[in-house]
């Protein structure tokens, strides 16, 4: 039996994962702003489920709940940083308050979660952190610039942290799902559209999303199954792309960046000291 702490556990991939892990006999600390989804589960699994209801952007509350979770269960094997949402709109369209909330929720809160759990993972001799990022941590769609900023940001943060904590027996896994059938689209925070962007790629993506033409191939259950499989493995890969859309888009983006890097080599080397 393993013990997991999962943020954003009250909906989407987090709720699917919580349900699956409890069904197989594990223990879960389910963190979210709503306790309602867990009421039926609690009656079935009893004290194998600990519900922590708080706003992840409240750093003091986050640290308090993390400390309480480790104290209650003694050991937490895997921490899944899953909470987040999308801000939808061209960079010029989004409001300052929307930007601040997006960064606070997706990036700063994820950073603070990692900082809060690291002392506990070190003290227990190791553990695993799974960050739910996105294909959007390696490539970008128009109208998701701020969302991408948080995903590229958390991936860079964790690439550095992984090097800092490897000798403590702490592994980092970054999951990068493509578009998946969850409540993500319904939870988008929409910016007020500007007519000037109607005839741009931003307008094209807006119409695709609003009409339902934006293709979603990812299956939530299969995505979670793959994440659990990786989290359970003895030596997990640092990054795992999930779904054909993620594989194709990330492959295309990385190939283009590598081709561009190689093409500029002669100019790049002129910047060295001689």
- pLDDT tens for residues 236-260? 999 999 999 999 999 999 999 999 9
19 in a domain, yes or no? yes
Residue 217: predicted pLDDT: 84
User: Can you say whether residue 43 is alpha, beta or left, with left for phi > 0 and alpha for psi between -120 and 50 degrees?
Assistant: alpha
Which of the residues are catalytic? 133, 147, 151
Any idea what the CATH number is for the domain that residue 108 is in?
3.40.50.720
In a domain, 273, yes or no: no
In this structure, what token pair is assigned to residue 137? 């941590």
Flag whether 38 is in a domain: yes
Average pLDDT for the chain: 94
Does residue 81 fall inside a structural domain? yes
Question: Residue 175 in contact with residue 155, Cβ under 8 Å?
Answer: no
Q: Can you give the pTM of this predicted structure?
A: 0.94
Could you tell me if residue 253 is inside a domain? no
3-state class (DSSP) for residue 253: helix
Residue indicated by tokens 């960064």 = 103
> Closest Cα to residue 250, out of 261, 239, 238, 237?
239
pLDDT value of position 51: 94
- Which pLDDT score, from 0 to 100, does residue 14 have? 94
Task: Provide the residue range defining the domain that includes 119.
Answer: 3-248
CB 230 within 8 A of CB 163: no
What is the CB neighbour count within 10 angstroms for residue 59?
A: 17
Tens-digit pLDDT profile for residues 4-15: 999 999 889 999
Enter the tokens of residue 263.
């093409």
- Report CA-CA distances (Å) from 176 to 79, 179, 184, 240: 16, 10, 14, 6
Cα separations in angstroms, 144 against 121, 179, 181, 206: 34, 13, 18, 10
Structural domain contains residue 262:
no
Q: Pick from 71, 92, 89: which is nearest to 29 by CA?
A: 71
CB atoms within 10 A of CB 239: 19
**pLDDT reported for residue 182:** 79
- The 8-class DSSP code of residue 243 comes to S
Tell whether 266 is covered by a domain: no
- pLDDT tens series, the chain, 274 aa: 999 999 999 889 999 999 999 999 999 999 988 777 888 888 889 899 999 999 999 999 999 999 999 999 999 999 999 999 999 999 999 999 999 999 999 999 999 999 999 999 999 999 999 999 999 999 999 999 999 999 999 999 999 999 999 999 999 999 999 888 777 778 889 999 999 999 999 999 999 888 877 777 888 999 999 999 999 999 999 999 999 999 999 999 999 999 999 999 999 999 999 8
DSSP state of 83: -
Residue 49 lies in a domain: yes
Q: How many domains does the chain have?
A: 1
């Amino acid at each position: 039996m393993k013990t997991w702490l999962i943020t954003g556990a009250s909906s989407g991939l987090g709720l699917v994962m919580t349900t699956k892990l409890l069904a197989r006999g594990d223990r879960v600390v389910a963190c979210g702003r709503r306790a309602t989804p867990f009421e039926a589960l609690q009656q079935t699994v009893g004290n194998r489920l600990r519900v922590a209801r708080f706003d992840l952007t409240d750093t003091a509350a986050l640290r308090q709940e993390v400390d309480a979770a480790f104290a209650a269960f003694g050991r937490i094997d895997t921490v899944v940083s899953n909470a987040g949402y999308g801000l939808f709109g061209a960079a010029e369209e989004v409001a300052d308050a929307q930007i601040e909330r997006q960064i606070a929720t997706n990036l700063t809160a994820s950073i603070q979660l990692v900082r809060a759990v690291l002392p506990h993972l070190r003290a227990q001799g190791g553990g695993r952190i799974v960050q739910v990022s996105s294909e959007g941590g390696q490539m970008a769609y128009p109208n998701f610039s701020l969302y991408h900023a948080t995903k590229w940001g958390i991936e860079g943060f964790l690439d550095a942290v992984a090097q800092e904590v490897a000798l403590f027996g702490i592994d980092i896994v970054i999951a990068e799902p493509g578009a998946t059938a969850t409540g993500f689209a319904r939870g988008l925070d929409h910016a007020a559209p500007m007519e000037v962007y109607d005839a741009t790629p931003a307008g094209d993506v807006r119409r695709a999303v609003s009409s339902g033409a934006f293709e979603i191939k990812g299956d939530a259950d299969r995505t979670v199954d793959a994440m659990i499989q990786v989290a359970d493995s003895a030596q997990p890969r640092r990054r795992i792309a999930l779904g054909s859309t993620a594989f194709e888009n990330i492959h295309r983006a990385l190939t283009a960046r590598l081709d561009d890097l190689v093409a500029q080599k002669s100019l790049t080397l002129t910047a060295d000291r001689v």
